[in-house]
Amino acid sequence: MAETKRVGVLTGGGDAPGLNPAIKGLVYRGSELGLEVIGLFDGWRSLMNPAPDVLPLDRETVRRWDRDGGTNLGSSRTNPFKQVNAEGEAQDRSHEVVENIQRLNLDALVVCGGEDTLGVAAVLAERGVPIVGVPKTIDKDLAGTDYTLGFDTALRNISEVIEHSRTPAGSHGWVQIVEVMGRHAGHLALWSGVAGQAHLILIPEHPFRYERVFHLLSARLGESDLSRGLSRRPRYSVIVVAEGARAEDGEMVTIDDRHDAFGHVRLGGIGEVLARRIAAETPYEARAVVLGHPQRGGAPSPIDRIMGMLFGTRAAEAVAEQCFGMLVSARGVAPACEFSLVDISTVRGKINVVDVERYYDTDRYHMKGLGM
Protein backbone atom coordinates (compact mmCIF):
# COMPACT_ATOMS: atom_id res chain seq x y z
CA MET A 1 0.00 0.00 0.00
CA ALA A 2 1.32 3.44 -0.98
CA GLU A 3 2.40 5.77 1.81
CA THR A 4 -0.31 8.17 3.09
CA LYS A 5 0.03 11.71 1.77
CA ARG A 6 -0.99 14.75 3.81
CA VAL A 7 -2.95 17.27 1.77
CA GLY A 8 -4.01 20.73 2.92
CA VAL A 9 -7.14 22.30 1.42
CA LEU A 10 -8.14 25.96 1.50
CA THR A 11 -10.88 28.13 0.02
CA GLY A 12 -10.13 31.77 -0.88
CA GLY A 13 -11.85 34.82 -2.35
CA GLY A 14 -15.63 35.33 -2.44
CA ASP A 15 -17.47 32.31 -1.08
CA ALA A 16 -19.48 30.17 -3.49
CA PRO A 17 -21.99 27.35 -3.17
CA GLY A 18 -20.28 24.14 -4.31
CA LEU A 19 -17.11 24.57 -2.25
CA ASN A 20 -18.25 22.23 0.52
CA PRO A 21 -19.26 19.48 -1.94
CA ALA A 22 -15.79 19.88 -3.52
CA ILE A 23 -14.13 19.33 -0.15
CA LYS A 24 -16.33 16.29 0.43
CA GLY A 25 -15.33 14.92 -2.99
CA LEU A 26 -11.65 15.49 -2.19
CA VAL A 27 -11.93 13.73 1.18
CA TYR A 28 -14.02 10.81 -0.08
CA ARG A 29 -11.97 10.03 -3.19
CA GLY A 30 -8.80 10.89 -1.29
CA SER A 31 -9.63 8.28 1.35
CA GLU A 32 -9.54 5.64 -1.40
CA LEU A 33 -6.22 6.91 -2.68
CA GLY A 34 -4.32 7.17 0.60
CA LEU A 35 -4.74 10.92 1.16
CA GLU A 36 -5.15 12.44 4.58
CA VAL A 37 -6.90 15.80 4.16
CA ILE A 38 -6.33 18.76 6.47
CA GLY A 39 -8.63 21.81 6.32
CA LEU A 40 -6.96 25.23 6.51
CA PHE A 41 -9.09 28.19 7.59
CA ASP A 42 -9.76 31.47 5.77
CA GLY A 43 -7.81 30.96 2.56
CA TRP A 44 -4.18 32.06 2.34
CA ARG A 45 -4.53 33.84 5.67
CA SER A 46 -4.33 30.46 7.45
CA LEU A 47 -0.86 29.85 6.06
CA MET A 48 0.41 33.24 7.19
CA ASN A 49 -0.42 32.54 10.80
CA PRO A 50 2.62 31.41 12.86
CA ALA A 51 0.45 28.67 14.39
CA PRO A 52 -2.11 27.73 11.73
CA ASP A 53 -5.41 26.43 13.01
CA VAL A 54 -6.22 23.24 11.13
CA LEU A 55 -9.15 20.84 10.97
CA PRO A 56 -8.49 17.19 10.07
CA LEU A 57 -11.13 16.20 7.55
CA ASP A 58 -12.24 12.59 7.44
CA ARG A 59 -15.28 11.04 5.82
CA GLU A 60 -17.36 11.37 8.98
CA THR A 61 -16.56 15.09 9.34
CA VAL A 62 -17.55 16.02 5.79
CA ARG A 63 -20.36 13.49 5.33
CA ARG A 64 -23.07 16.16 5.29
CA TRP A 65 -21.07 19.01 3.73
CA ASP A 66 -22.55 18.47 0.25
CA ARG A 67 -25.70 20.29 1.42
CA ASP A 68 -23.93 23.34 2.84
CA GLY A 69 -23.62 26.65 1.02
CA GLY A 70 -20.64 28.98 1.45
CA THR A 71 -17.48 27.38 2.73
CA ASN A 72 -17.15 25.58 6.04
CA LEU A 73 -13.43 26.42 6.01
CA GLY A 74 -14.04 30.18 5.84
CA SER A 75 -12.54 32.46 3.24
CA SER A 76 -10.62 35.70 2.88
CA ARG A 77 -9.19 37.85 0.13
CA THR A 78 -5.57 37.52 1.31
CA ASN A 79 -2.64 38.18 -0.98
CA PRO A 80 0.56 36.80 0.60
CA PHE A 81 2.63 38.74 -1.97
CA LYS A 82 1.16 42.07 -0.87
CA GLN A 83 0.63 42.40 2.86
CA VAL A 84 0.36 45.92 4.17
CA ASN A 85 2.33 46.43 7.42
CA ALA A 86 1.66 48.92 10.25
CA GLU A 87 3.61 51.60 8.34
CA GLY A 88 1.37 51.13 5.33
CA GLU A 89 4.09 49.48 3.22
CA ALA A 90 3.35 46.45 1.04
CA GLN A 91 5.42 43.38 1.94
CA ASP A 92 5.92 40.01 0.28
CA ARG A 93 5.18 37.43 2.98
CA SER A 94 4.79 34.43 0.68
CA HIS A 95 7.80 32.74 2.33
CA GLU A 96 5.61 32.31 5.45
CA VAL A 97 3.14 30.30 3.38
CA VAL A 98 5.93 28.00 2.20
CA GLU A 99 7.32 27.66 5.74
CA ASN A 100 3.88 26.73 7.09
CA ILE A 101 3.37 24.13 4.40
CA GLN A 102 6.62 22.54 5.61
CA ARG A 103 5.74 23.00 9.31
CA LEU A 104 2.43 21.21 8.75
CA ASN A 105 4.19 18.41 6.83
CA LEU A 106 1.90 18.89 3.84
CA ASP A 107 2.80 16.89 0.74
CA ALA A 108 0.38 18.92 -1.37
CA LEU A 109 -2.10 21.76 -1.29
CA VAL A 110 -5.52 21.87 -2.96
CA VAL A 111 -6.53 25.48 -3.53
CA CYS A 112 -10.15 26.31 -4.33
CA GLY A 113 -10.47 29.81 -5.68
CA GLY A 114 -10.99 32.26 -8.48
CA GLU A 115 -8.59 34.43 -10.44
CA ASP A 116 -6.90 35.96 -7.37
CA THR A 117 -6.54 32.96 -5.05
CA LEU A 118 -5.49 30.72 -7.93
CA GLY A 119 -3.18 33.46 -9.25
CA VAL A 120 -1.27 33.22 -5.96
CA ALA A 121 -1.31 29.43 -6.30
CA ALA A 122 0.14 29.70 -9.81
CA VAL A 123 3.12 31.75 -8.63
CA LEU A 124 3.76 29.40 -5.72
CA ALA A 125 3.49 26.42 -8.09
CA GLU A 126 6.16 28.02 -10.31
CA ARG A 127 8.36 28.11 -7.22
CA GLY A 128 7.88 24.40 -6.68
CA VAL A 129 5.00 24.25 -4.19
CA PRO A 130 2.95 21.11 -5.03
CA ILE A 131 -0.47 22.60 -5.79
CA VAL A 132 -3.69 21.52 -7.50
CA GLY A 133 -6.36 24.18 -8.19
CA VAL A 134 -10.16 23.89 -8.16
CA PRO A 135 -12.08 26.66 -9.97
CA LYS A 136 -14.79 28.55 -8.13
CA THR A 137 -16.49 31.89 -8.62
CA ILE A 138 -20.09 32.81 -9.18
CA ASP A 139 -18.82 35.14 -11.96
CA LYS A 140 -17.75 32.19 -14.20
CA ASP A 141 -14.99 34.43 -15.53
CA LEU A 142 -12.01 32.17 -14.95
CA ALA A 143 -9.81 31.29 -17.92
CA GLY A 144 -9.07 27.59 -18.56
CA THR A 145 -12.45 26.11 -17.63
CA ASP A 146 -16.07 26.35 -18.79
CA TYR A 147 -17.50 25.93 -15.29
CA THR A 148 -16.68 27.50 -11.96
CA LEU A 149 -18.36 26.46 -8.74
CA GLY A 150 -21.18 28.69 -7.57
CA PHE A 151 -22.34 29.97 -10.94
CA ASP A 152 -25.44 27.81 -11.22
CA THR A 153 -26.65 28.52 -7.68
CA ALA A 154 -26.15 32.26 -8.15
CA LEU A 155 -28.09 32.02 -11.40
CA ARG A 156 -30.94 30.34 -9.52
CA ASN A 157 -30.88 32.98 -6.78
CA ILE A 158 -30.83 35.91 -9.19
CA SER A 159 -33.48 34.49 -11.50
CA GLU A 160 -35.83 34.13 -8.56
CA VAL A 161 -35.42 37.78 -7.60
CA ILE A 162 -35.96 38.93 -11.18
CA GLU A 163 -39.12 36.87 -11.25
CA HIS A 164 -40.27 38.27 -7.89
CA SER A 165 -39.55 41.81 -8.95
CA ARG A 166 -42.15 41.77 -11.70
CA THR A 167 -45.24 41.77 -9.45
CA PRO A 168 -44.44 44.96 -7.52
CA ALA A 169 -43.25 46.59 -10.73
CA GLY A 170 -46.45 45.54 -12.51
CA SER A 171 -48.77 46.54 -9.65
CA HIS A 172 -47.27 50.00 -9.31
CA GLY A 173 -46.29 50.55 -12.92
CA TRP A 174 -42.57 51.17 -12.85
CA VAL A 175 -39.30 50.10 -14.39
CA GLN A 176 -37.46 47.75 -12.03
CA ILE A 177 -33.70 47.60 -12.37
CA VAL A 178 -31.95 44.57 -10.87
CA GLU A 179 -28.20 45.01 -10.41
CA VAL A 180 -26.27 41.76 -10.28
CA MET A 181 -22.68 40.74 -9.57
CA GLY A 182 -20.10 39.41 -11.98
CA ARG A 183 -17.34 42.02 -11.94
CA HIS A 184 -16.09 42.53 -15.51
CA ALA A 185 -18.01 39.56 -16.92
CA GLY A 186 -21.67 39.54 -17.90
CA HIS A 187 -22.33 35.79 -17.67
CA LEU A 188 -24.51 36.10 -14.56
CA ALA A 189 -26.46 39.07 -15.91
CA LEU A 190 -27.03 37.55 -19.33
CA TRP A 191 -28.14 34.08 -18.31
CA SER A 192 -30.18 35.19 -15.27
CA GLY A 193 -31.80 37.84 -17.45
CA VAL A 194 -32.90 35.14 -19.86
CA ALA A 195 -34.00 32.75 -17.10
CA GLY A 196 -35.95 35.50 -15.31
CA GLN A 197 -37.23 36.93 -18.62
CA ALA A 198 -35.94 40.43 -18.11
CA HIS A 199 -36.76 42.86 -20.90
CA LEU A 200 -33.32 44.38 -21.21
CA ILE A 201 -29.94 43.06 -20.12
CA LEU A 202 -26.88 45.32 -19.85
CA ILE A 203 -23.47 43.67 -19.66
CA PRO A 204 -19.91 44.98 -19.21
CA GLU A 205 -18.75 43.53 -22.51
CA HIS A 206 -20.93 45.95 -24.51
CA PRO A 207 -21.23 49.53 -23.20
CA PHE A 208 -24.83 50.70 -23.59
CA ARG A 209 -26.36 53.96 -24.81
CA TYR A 210 -28.97 55.67 -22.60
CA GLU A 211 -30.91 56.84 -25.64
CA ARG A 212 -31.20 53.28 -26.85
CA VAL A 213 -32.42 52.08 -23.43
CA PHE A 214 -35.07 54.83 -23.40
CA HIS A 215 -36.14 53.94 -26.91
CA LEU A 216 -36.46 50.22 -26.09
CA LEU A 217 -38.50 51.08 -23.01
CA SER A 218 -40.91 53.28 -24.90
CA ALA A 219 -41.29 50.65 -27.63
CA ARG A 220 -42.52 48.26 -24.96
CA LEU A 221 -44.40 50.60 -22.65
CA GLY A 222 -45.72 53.42 -24.80
CA GLU A 223 -45.23 57.06 -24.09
CA SER A 224 -47.25 57.66 -20.91
CA ASP A 225 -46.85 57.29 -17.18
CA LEU A 226 -47.26 53.58 -16.39
CA SER A 227 -49.28 53.94 -13.19
CA ARG A 228 -52.35 55.32 -15.01
CA GLY A 229 -55.04 52.75 -15.75
CA LEU A 230 -54.79 49.20 -16.96
CA SER A 231 -54.48 48.31 -20.60
CA ARG A 232 -53.29 45.39 -22.66
CA ARG A 233 -49.89 47.03 -22.91
CA PRO A 234 -47.30 45.99 -20.28
CA ARG A 235 -47.22 48.41 -17.35
CA TYR A 236 -43.74 47.55 -16.23
CA SER A 237 -40.31 46.56 -17.36
CA VAL A 238 -37.44 44.68 -15.71
CA ILE A 239 -33.87 45.57 -16.61
CA VAL A 240 -30.97 43.41 -15.44
CA VAL A 241 -27.74 45.35 -15.23
CA ALA A 242 -24.35 43.84 -14.43
CA GLU A 243 -22.44 45.71 -11.72
CA GLY A 244 -19.59 46.19 -14.23
CA ALA A 245 -21.79 47.57 -17.03
CA ARG A 246 -21.25 51.15 -18.14
CA ALA A 247 -22.65 53.61 -20.62
CA GLU A 248 -20.67 54.33 -23.80
CA ASP A 249 -19.93 57.80 -22.49
CA GLY A 250 -19.57 56.78 -18.83
CA GLU A 251 -17.32 55.02 -16.37
CA MET A 252 -17.86 51.88 -14.34
CA VAL A 253 -19.58 52.83 -11.07
CA THR A 254 -17.82 51.88 -7.83
CA ILE A 255 -19.01 51.79 -4.21
CA ASP A 256 -15.99 53.80 -3.07
CA ASP A 257 -12.39 54.32 -4.17
CA ARG A 258 -10.84 51.60 -2.01
CA HIS A 259 -9.04 48.61 -3.52
CA ASP A 260 -8.82 45.09 -2.11
CA ALA A 261 -5.60 43.09 -1.56
CA PHE A 262 -5.55 42.21 -5.27
CA GLY A 263 -6.11 45.75 -6.47
CA HIS A 264 -9.80 45.38 -7.31
CA VAL A 265 -12.30 48.17 -6.74
CA ARG A 266 -15.74 47.24 -5.36
CA LEU A 267 -18.24 47.71 -8.16
CA GLY A 268 -21.79 48.84 -7.48
CA GLY A 269 -24.27 51.62 -8.12
CA ILE A 270 -24.87 51.53 -11.88
CA GLY A 271 -28.48 50.41 -11.25
CA GLU A 272 -29.27 53.54 -9.25
CA VAL A 273 -27.57 55.77 -11.82
CA LEU A 274 -29.68 54.19 -14.53
CA ALA A 275 -32.90 54.49 -12.47
CA ARG A 276 -32.28 58.22 -11.94
CA ARG A 277 -31.69 58.81 -15.64
CA ILE A 278 -34.87 56.91 -16.57
CA ALA A 279 -36.92 58.85 -14.01
CA ALA A 280 -35.46 62.16 -15.21
CA GLU A 281 -35.57 61.61 -18.97
CA THR A 282 -38.61 59.39 -19.62
CA PRO A 283 -42.22 59.39 -18.39
CA TYR A 284 -41.57 56.27 -16.30
CA GLU A 285 -40.91 55.82 -12.63
CA ALA A 286 -37.94 53.56 -11.91
CA ARG A 287 -36.59 51.59 -8.94
CA ALA A 288 -33.22 49.91 -8.53
CA VAL A 289 -32.23 47.02 -6.30
CA VAL A 290 -28.66 45.81 -5.74
CA LEU A 291 -28.76 42.10 -5.01
CA GLY A 292 -25.36 41.98 -3.27
CA HIS A 293 -23.94 39.02 -1.40
CA PRO A 294 -27.14 36.95 -1.00
CA GLN A 295 -26.61 36.13 -4.69
CA ARG A 296 -23.84 33.82 -3.46
CA GLY A 297 -26.00 32.47 -0.64
CA GLY A 298 -28.04 29.39 0.16
CA ALA A 299 -27.62 25.68 -0.39
CA PRO A 300 -25.81 24.63 -3.56
CA SER A 301 -27.97 23.80 -6.58
CA PRO A 302 -27.93 20.23 -7.91
CA ILE A 303 -25.39 21.28 -10.56
CA ASP A 304 -23.07 22.83 -7.96
CA ARG A 305 -23.35 19.75 -5.73
CA ILE A 306 -22.47 17.45 -8.60
CA MET A 307 -19.74 19.70 -10.02
CA GLY A 308 -18.28 20.21 -6.54
CA MET A 309 -18.03 16.48 -5.94
CA LEU A 310 -16.53 15.93 -9.40
CA PHE A 311 -13.98 18.74 -9.09
CA GLY A 312 -12.97 17.50 -5.62
CA THR A 313 -12.66 13.93 -6.86
CA ARG A 314 -10.45 14.99 -9.78
CA ALA A 315 -8.30 17.08 -7.46
CA ALA A 316 -7.74 14.03 -5.22
CA GLU A 317 -6.73 11.98 -8.25
CA ALA A 318 -4.34 14.70 -9.46
CA VAL A 319 -2.66 14.79 -6.03
CA ALA A 320 -2.38 10.99 -5.91
CA GLU A 321 -0.79 11.03 -9.38
CA GLN A 322 1.47 13.93 -8.35
CA CYS A 323 0.21 16.14 -11.18
CA PHE A 324 1.08 19.46 -9.56
CA GLY A 325 0.91 23.00 -10.84
CA MET A 326 -2.41 22.11 -12.45
CA LEU A 327 -6.00 23.35 -12.40
CA VAL A 328 -8.92 20.93 -12.68
CA SER A 329 -10.77 22.13 -15.77
CA ALA A 330 -14.30 21.25 -16.91
CA ARG A 331 -15.16 21.61 -20.59
CA GLY A 332 -18.70 21.39 -21.99
CA VAL A 333 -22.09 21.80 -20.39
CA ALA A 334 -22.27 21.06 -16.66
CA PRO A 335 -22.61 18.50 -15.21
CA ALA A 336 -21.77 16.25 -18.18
CA CYS A 337 -18.35 17.87 -18.64
CA GLU A 338 -15.04 16.53 -19.82
CA PHE A 339 -12.56 16.97 -16.99
CA SER A 340 -8.87 17.50 -17.54
CA LEU A 341 -5.89 19.17 -15.93
CA VAL A 342 -4.56 22.42 -17.38
CA ASP A 343 -1.52 24.43 -16.35
CA ILE A 344 -2.57 26.54 -13.39
CA SER A 345 -0.83 29.59 -14.87
CA THR A 346 -3.72 29.69 -17.42
CA VAL A 347 -5.74 31.65 -14.86
CA ARG A 348 -3.31 34.55 -14.74
CA GLY A 349 -3.78 37.80 -16.60
CA LYS A 350 -6.94 37.01 -18.55
CA ILE A 351 -10.58 36.42 -17.78
CA ASN A 352 -13.36 34.66 -19.59
CA VAL A 353 -16.07 37.12 -20.65
CA VAL A 354 -19.29 36.88 -22.67
CA ASP A 355 -18.72 36.28 -26.36
CA VAL A 356 -20.76 39.26 -27.59
CA GLU A 357 -20.64 38.23 -31.23
CA ARG A 358 -22.17 34.88 -30.42
CA TYR A 359 -24.59 35.62 -27.59
CA TYR A 360 -25.50 39.29 -27.32
CA ASP A 361 -27.89 41.30 -29.45
CA THR A 362 -26.30 44.76 -29.37
CA ASP A 363 -29.49 46.44 -30.72
CA ARG A 364 -32.00 44.83 -28.41
CA TYR A 365 -29.74 44.56 -25.37
CA HIS A 366 -30.72 40.94 -24.90
CA MET A 367 -29.63 37.45 -25.77
CA LYS A 368 -29.23 36.96 -29.47
CA GLY A 369 -31.82 34.96 -31.38
CA LEU A 370 -34.59 34.82 -28.76
CA GLY A 371 -36.87 37.33 -30.40
CA MET A 372 -36.95 39.32 -27.17
Residues near ligand F6P, by CB under 6 A: 14, 77, 114, 137-139, 181-183, 243, 266-267, 296
Give exposure, 87-108, as e/b (b: 16+ Cβ within 10 Å).
Answer: eeeeeebbebbeebbeebebbb
The whole-angstrom separation of Cα 248 and Cα 259 is: 24
Q: Which is closer to ligand F6P, CB of 97 or CB of 138?
A: 138
Nearer residue to ligand F6P within complex by CB, 17 or 325: 17
Among 200, 228, 227, 226, smallest CA distance to 214 is for 200
Kindly list the distances between the CA atom of residue 22 and the CA atoms of 106, 140, 221, in Å, as whole numbers in the listed order. 19, 16, 46
Query: Using an 8 Å Cβ cutoff, are 283 and 217 in contact?
Result: no
Q: Which of 168, 326, 281, 186 has its CA nearest to residue 235?
A: 168
Instruction: State the maximum Cα–Cα separation within the chain, in Å, rounded to a whole number.
Output: 78
Set 42, 116, 139, 141: catalytic member:
139
Q: Please confirm, yes or no, whether 139 is among the known catalytic residues.
A: yes
Is the Cβ–Cβ distance between 30 and 39 less than 8 Å? Answer: no
Cβ nearer to ligand F6P, comparing 255 with 370: 255
Name the CA dihedral angle for 21, 354, 333, 25, rounded to a multiple of 10 degrees: -20
Q: Which is nearer to ligand F6P, 14 or 70 (CB)?
A: 14
Comparing CB distances to ligand F6P, the nearer of 114 and 130 is 114
CB nearer to ligand F6P: pick between 246 and 296: 296
88 in Cβ contact with 122 (< 8 Å): no
Cβ-Cβ contacts under 8 Å for 129 (sequence gap 6 or more): 97, 98, 101, 109
β-partners of residue 146 are none
Residue 339 identity: F
Comparing C-alpha atoms, which of 365, 332, 131 is closest to residue 238? Answer: 365
CA distance to 27, 30, 75, per residue, from 309 (Å): 10, 12, 19
List CB contacts of 223: < 8 A, sequence separation 6 or more.
283
299 class by beta-carbon count within 10 Å (0-12 exposed, 13-18 middle, 19+ buried): middle
Question: Which CB, 121 or 267, lies closer to ligand F6P?
Answer: 267
Q: Among all residues, which ones are annotated catalytic? A: 139
